[in-house]
Amino acid sequence: MGSYFSKEAPVTGVKRTAEERDVPQKREATGYQRREGKGNKREPRGHSSGQFKTKKQMKKEKWMKDKEERKKKRSKMDTMKEEEKAPVQPTAGESLVTGVQPVGEINDLTSLVTRKQTVTKEVSTTNGYTTTVITNTSVSSSEVNSVDTDMTTKTGDTVRISTSGRIPKKKVALMLGYNGAGFQGLQINPKAHTIEGVVFDALCRAGAISLANQDDPKKSNWMRSARTDKGVSAAGNVISLKMQLPDNIVDRLNKILPPQIRVWGYVVVVKSFHAKYLCDSRIYEYLLPTCAFMDPIKRELKDERTLETDLTISNNDYENPIIKYVAASTPEEREMRHKYRAPEDRLLKFRMAIEQYVGSHNFHNYTINKGANDKSCNRYIKSITVSDPMYIHDTEWISIKLHGQSFMLHQIRKMISMGLLLARTSTPISLIPETFKLRRINIPKAPALGLLLERPIFNTYNEKVLVKSKEVIREKLTFDPYAAEIEKFKQEQIYAKIFETENTEHVFDGYLTSLDAHWGTDFDYLNEEGVIPDRCLITTKYNPQEEEDEEED
């Protein structure tokens, strides 16, 4: 065995001579190498040659790569614009005006195929362009023609599409009104019959939505200023979107839409416009028959349904639900309600009760799926006015106008219901401020039949647009130019339908009957003291009872 300092000694863990330290193979085995002019400082092997990169180097390389991709994309877009400007001639030998488009853009028609299940396409290539023929047996020729303004020719059910010229898109605020009866609310839903679904389909057929955007409204930046529930109408509402503006687009839309949906007009807005977030406030109206102020009529509950017209009553206990039945009102009772005229003292009490909502309050008891500590429950009501009684079809009605910054789901219907509950009982008005506190109670909803959106207001947007738009002339977003048309529509399509529906279906009569027959302890807050007893409190996952008790202590 060699000595401790001999060359035969192991390399690792021993002291080596100067000659051994200069051997490249052994120096490389250590994983480090000397840097010239840096003393004894060492750096990882391969760093100086670029094998290891710093974050700054990697960031610079990524920026350069993105720059090249952006440059290629701009070049491709410029090429496409030049091709669009070039005039396109029909294919030789065609007797029709045939649409052509580059081969690479044939996928633009996918959205049309998606929207119309029975659409088929035939493709032929001539001189680098693709001629596309749409054959549709389920849609009329006039309907298909309206998808694009360039579709002007047809032979039976065969229509040739022209996509050679694109109409530029504009960000617009589309103003419309509708009767919500028969629809599952306003917001578009592929599985339901909604107002927006019908309007979007009409926009596609009228040539306002490009073929590439017809499969999804989100591609057009679709947004509404106020979302109305099932059965709720609107004299004026606003939808913001990017759309093409062919000639006479408003008239074309109204010819396609059913009579209960009307487009009043549109305003070209700034690109950043958002119908929901730039809306200052909303004005709603609720039509209420004064028979809602009648004294409660005692009802007899049944354990089994005896007639098809019997109403179902529940105890509102989700853990242990109990179902009862009550007979519908007799013709004599309905006639009595139609003939009822509210005394002045009850109208005054209702007005005073409704005025309690004005201002900023926590309306967690007037909506669903929100707890008392949810900050979104704090809403600001600007004003509420109650009209004098009016008489339609020998029934007395009143109109309630509510002007608020925004409203939550079911909020207005529950506010109206609480007001009439106080007016028809001896419960004092002091109960309403108690509902703004943390304790959770059950407040029934008034029927959706009487509710309608009057109009959204965009005063702040209008003021800023007029100040900043020095070079571009901007129009105010207001419903004033269409006031006469809107009033006529309200009378014929909204008010008349509400009164007619009540006379035939007795919606408010059924609502009052269910209130009179309600059983359980959750309505025990209707008492002469105006206090909320513990027995009528309800517990949900949004406001556990334990948390409420801790807050009160």
DSSP string, 233-248: EEEEEEEEEEEE--TT
Q: What is the pLDDT of residue 539?
A: 84
Q: Which residues of 86-116 are buried (b: 16+ CB within 10 A; e: fewer)?
A: eebebbeeeeeebbbbbeeeeebbebbeebb
- Catalytic residue among 157, 201, 229, 516, which? 229
Report residue 163: phi and psi, to 5°.
-120, 25
Q: What is the pLDDT of residue 293?
A: 96
Where are any strands of DSSP class E within 24-182?
32-34, 42-44, 100-102, 120-126, 129-135, 154-155, 158-160, 169-178
Report residue 413: phi and psi, to 5°.
-65, -35
Q: What is the pLDDT of residue 14?
A: 53
Low-confidence ranges of the chain (pLDDT < 70): 1-52, 81-166, 318, 469-472, 544-553
Q: What is the pLDDT of residue 102?
A: 34
CB-neighbour burial class of residue 467 (10 A; exposed 0-12, middle 13-18, buried 19+): exposed
Q: What is the pLDDT of residue 4?
A: 45
- Count of beta carbons in the 10 Å neighbourhood of residue 169: 17
Active site annotation includes 229: yes
Q: Distance of CA 325 to CAs 330, 339, 404, 421, Å? A: 15, 27, 38, 22
Where are any strands of DSSP class E within 372-447?
378-386, 390-392, 395-404
Interval 492-520: pLDDT, tens: 999 999 999 999 999 999 999 999 998 88
Cβ contacts of residue 239 below 8 Å, gap of 6+?
A: 173, 174, 176, 196, 199, 222, 223, 224, 225, 275
Closest CA to 345 of 413, 290, 286: 290
CB-neighbour burial class of residue 19 (10 A; exposed 0-12, middle 13-18, buried 19+): exposed
Rounded to 10 deg, the angle between the 507-516 and 331-339 helix axes is: 100
